[in-house]
Amino acid sequence: MTVAPDSTRPIGVFDSGVGGLSVLRALQVELPQERFVYVADNGHAPYGERDDAHVLSRSHAITDFLVEEHGIKALVVACNTATAAAIHALRAAYPVLPIVGIEPALKPATSLSKTGVIGVMATRGTLNSEKFRKLLENLHGTGTFVLQPCDGLADAIERFDTVRIQALCQDYTRTMGRFGSASGEIDCLVLGCTHYAFVTTELATLVGNHIALLEGGVPVARQTRRLLEQAHPGMLNQDPLAMGQHAPIFYSTGNLNLLESAVQRWLQLQGKTVFQKLE
């Protein structure tokens, strides 16, 4: 592989499936001159319902592919579960590669909440992780967190199963308790899985438009810019002619048609888009 100049090398992004497209969308807004390579590991999903060893193995395999085949200049782990299970190991394996993870927006929620009661919807893998436990410990005393594991929701979003999405969102929000602005009610809802950013309309209908819904794509995009700026001169692509000129390359380890449908549904892309199967 011939390595391109730093500024034109792509940024790698991966998730267990299509949820990370919400992060990619934010990255394209923040970094419109950059090239992206996206891997949906839907052949090995759902991460949130698998053990850490499985997620760690898949995270290493995808990162190795992105480094060796595409010479990426930065990596975005666009999955809360993979961030919790693997990001420390990835940083140890690739010490010079800027790596950005994502975590549930608990801290911003504590600043925003008026009632002090914050709902958290996430996968079971994220909620059971050591990283999430430490995040909660660091926020001890700043609020009350109502944690809701959402088994099956990411998979339903992956398959665009609207009936199942509606049913699961209804079940999980009802289980969490009352939403509102009164004392003891949940007034902020943290979306702790990148997939959930694509069902904000359904969630807002159930909990009320006055309830703040917090997801992590925009902070991740801003942190990616900061790391590229700090890495060394010439890493960030600042060529004005590159603005919006590069459609991402998409890979899927599972159903390629599902990925193509999700990209067409949720991303506004210009230019030729490449989809490839990754074994």
Q: 169 an active-site residue?
A: no
Q: Kindly give, in sequence order, each residue whose CB lies less than 8 Å from that of residue 33, ignoring residues fewer than 6 positions away.
A: 237, 238, 239, 240, 242, 243, 244, 245
Report yes or no: 102 and 86 within 8 Å, Cβ to Cβ: no
**Mean pLDDT, to the nearest integer, of 163-184?**
97
**Mean pLDDT, to the nearest integer, of 216-245?**
85
Tell me the HSE value of 218 on the side-chain side, using a 13 A CA sphere: 5
* Alpha-helix residue ranges (DSSP H) falling in 101-250: 106-112, 124-127, 130-138, 153-158, 162-176, 200-207, 217-231
Q: Which pLDDT score is estimated for 1?
A: 45
Residue 3 has pLDDT above 50, yes or no: no
pTM: 0.89
CATH of domain 6-102+217-277: 3.40.50.1860
Q: 150 an active-site residue?
A: no
Q: Kindly give, in sequence order, each residue whose CB lies less than 8 Å from that of residue 223, ignoring residues fewer than 6 positions away.
A: 100
Q: Which pLDDT score is estimated for 56?
A: 96
Q: Quote the CA–CA distance of 249 and 125 in Å, as a whole number.
A: 28
- Active-site annotation holder among 150, 169, 188, 193: 193
Residue 4 has pLDDT above 70, yes or no: no
* Comparison of pLDDT for 71 and 158, the residue scoring more: 71
- Active-site annotation holder among 79, 150, 169, 188: 79
Confidence of residue 270 (pLDDT cuts 50, 70, 90): low
Same fold? 6-102+217-277, 106-214: yes
Domain spans in the chain, listed from the N-terminal domain onward: 6-102+217-277, 106-214
> What is the Cα 226 distance to its own chain's centre?
18
Structure tokens at 67: 């480094």
Q: Which pLDDT score is estimated for 61?
A: 97
Residue 268 has pLDDT above 80, yes or no: no
Report pLDDT digits (tens) over 44-81: 988 877 889 999 999 999 999 999 999 999 999 999 99
Confidence of residue 5 (pLDDT cuts 50, 70, 90): low
Q: Which pLDDT score is estimated for 252?
A: 97
**Mean pLDDT, to the nearest integer, of 155-166?**
94
Residue 21 has pLDDT above 90, yes or no: yes
CATH of domain 106-214: 3.40.50.1860
**Mean pLDDT, to the nearest integer, of 234-251?**
82
Residue 249 has pLDDT above 60, yes or no: yes
